[in-house]
Chains A and B, each alone.
Chain A
Amino acid sequence: MPASLAASPVRPRGGLLAATLPASIFLVLALLPVVTSVTGSTYLISLGSRVMIFAIAAVALDLLVGYAALISFGHAAFIGLGAYAVGILSAYGFTDALVSLPVALAVSAAYAFLTGLVCLRTKGVYFIMITLAFGQMAFFTASSLAPFGGDDGLTIAARNTLAGFPVLRNERAFYYIVFFCLLSTYLFCRALVASRFGRVVRGAKENPVRVSTLGFDVYRFQLATYVIAGALAGLSGFLLANAAEFVSPAYMSWQRSGELIVMVLLGGLASLDGAVIGTAAYLLTEEWLSAFTENWKVIFGPVLVLIVLFARGGLLGLTSALARRFMRA
């Protein structure tokens, strides 16, 4: 056996694009407020924050859909739980992020754990249906919370403080806090999928029976993934409630869960970068098209169908295919 073979580990191939793409995404995001400081408008900054907040949830969903083949149709529920944690706590006077953030994470993780115990006993379409059902359960529960606004939602008096300082109330500082959260989420998930844990989860995606005959209790690994993804969506919800200074049951609706799946598919599954790109593409297109017409989904729908039909691997797959063609030419 050649010694060189024995020592060399498997490296994911993907070339230049795989390495430079995430770096450029985060560079653009980091520089956006610098650019907008010239114009003086905060519109782009709050739009950018919104994109990054949903990107956190989308990256978490990509862990489930892309890496574990667990198509969760109730992901928005965890965003909503994180958001409601902020809203309800602030209604009772707990307005510091040092309280509301851990509670938001714990509540969404707990809901993921309890529902995951049941959901992960099912497979395929049944998994989709049961996650949808638990998502709707959270939605209807929030809608019926009369003391906290019920259907109408709940206005938050002011954004959370951070250790007593009102840093989240500065639009630019808030942007960078969201940026930091997205970057940490991304790096954590990147490490997770390459870890021992991630390898078992990825293996179970390909062949769960095989992986269980190797001695792994696939259910436990999937449950842990589900809880991690739920907690990260809770983080997204915490930020969303602070960004909007408002929480509503609509955050948990099944339409929102569907949009998240679309964002991940649009960008390209199982890449994490794709989830960020897909979220940006979805929300920016929405923003742009809705300026022309209220019925922007009539245009967006067919575009999406075309992408799914002709660009397997989403926008990311499309870009790398074009890049390869360009390099060869």
Chain B
Amino acid sequence: MPEPMLRLQKLRKSFGALVVTDDLTLDVMPRELHAVIGPNGAGKTTLINQISGLIAPDSGTVLFSGRDITGMPVDARARLGLARSFQVSSVLPRFSALENVALAVQSRSGSSFRFLGRAAEEAALNGPAMAALGDVGLAERAHVPAGKLAHGEKRALELAIALAMEPKVLLLDEPMAGTGREETARLIAVLRRLKGRFSVVLVEHDMTAVFALADRISVLLYGRILASGVAAAVRADPRVVAAYLGDEME
């Protein structure tokens, strides 16, 4: 069995008396798309934040390719190849879509302590950035300020930014949040095409998306993993149906 790309061991985090991550252990294999589902307040975003480094766990470890990154700052994790999207679109509103993505390209292409030379005209940055925008269907909107994009386009841009980082592990925090049916279908198609290039942790409420994409699913409830396994097994698990899927599937 290959080494997991991402391994969470006995992760624990509480805010005051509220335990949001409770002794959580989870492996994400190379090239696997691992969905994390669960009701609101189950601790999904907090989990993503602990993996990406925005929140420090109280105890437990995060291993990336076998390397302990628990105490590593956000930016260093990103440079290792851990990219993420945000549940609330977190693009740079006054940068154009292209510049948002080009900044992500810039982070892995040489030093950014360059004080001269116009970054906006560097083909080495704009080329891969345009390619990533093309991947998510935003090529035509490259020069629009990100703040002026429609909601669904911002979601796609989030994805393009993450892709441009050429991640080893991609953390997607509800990429479909608030998108319409058509846009959801388009984002699913994009993710399906990208699947297998790298590991993905997908937090999502949209069950159509989850069952269409996930290799394995973990169900989170009150910060604990209730069930974890291949999609069909999780779907049939009576505890999962009772706790969560019951309402969603109707």
Contact = CB atoms under 8 A, between A and B. Distances in A.
A9 B112 contact: no
A109 to B, nearest CB: 14
B15 interface: no
Given A1-B134, A2-B139, A217 B75 contact: yes
Contacts of B91: 207, 210
Contacts of B120: 9-12, 194, 199
Contacts of B92: 203, 206-207, 210-211
B93 interface: yes
B107 interface: yes
A199 B99 CA distance: 9
Interface string B99-133: 10011101110011111111111110011001000
Contacts of B117: 191, 195-196
Contacts of B83: 213
Given A209-B90, A212-B74, A215-B165, A6 B96 contact: no
A197 B78 contact: no
Interface residues of A, number: 35
B136 to A, nearest CB: 12
A199 B118 CA distance: 9
A197 B114 contact: yes
A197 B115 contact: yes
Contacts of A218: 75
B108 A215 contact: yes
A264 interface: no
B84 A200 contact: no
Contacts of B98: 10
Interface string A206-246: 11011111111110010010000000000000000000000
A250 interface: no
Contacts of B121: 9
Nearest to A8: B143
Interface string B118-158: 11111100110010001000011011000000000000000
| Interface residues on chain B, size class | 35 or more
B161 A214 contact: yes
Contacts, number: 123
B93 A206 contact: yes
Contacts of A87: none
Contacts of A207: 90-92
A206 B91 CA distance: 9
A10 B94 contact: no
Nearest to B130: A6
A196 B104 CA distance: 11
A273 B79 CA distance: 36
Contact of B95 (A2, A203, A209): A203
A221 B140 CA distance: 32
Given A1-B134, A10-B99, A194-B120, A213 B84 contact: yes
Given A1-B134, A195-B116, A206-B95, 11 more contacts: A10-B120, A194-B119, A196-B111, A197-B112, A197-B115, A203-B95, A210-B90, A210-B91, A213-B84, A214-B161, A216-B107
Interface of B: 52, 54, 73-76, 78-79, 83-84, 86, 90-96, 98-99, 102-104, 106-108, 111-123, 126-127, 130, 134, 139-140, 142-143, 161, 165
29 contacts: A1-B134, A9-B118, A9-B121, A191-B115, A192-B115, A194-B119, A194-B120, A195-B114, A195-B118, A197-B114, A198-B115, A198-B119, A200-B103, A202-B95, A206-B92, A206-B93, A207-B91, A209-B54, A209-B90, A210-B86, A210-B92, A211-B92, A212-B78, A213-B54, A214-B103, A214-B104, A214-B161, A215-B79, A215-B165
Interface of A: 1-2, 5-12, 191-192, 194-200, 202-203, 206-207, 209-218, 221, 224
State the 9 A-B residue pairs at the shortest beta-carbon distance, nearest first: A215-B78, A215-B107, A9-B121, A215-B79, A196-B114, A1-B139, A206-B92, A196-B119, A212-B74
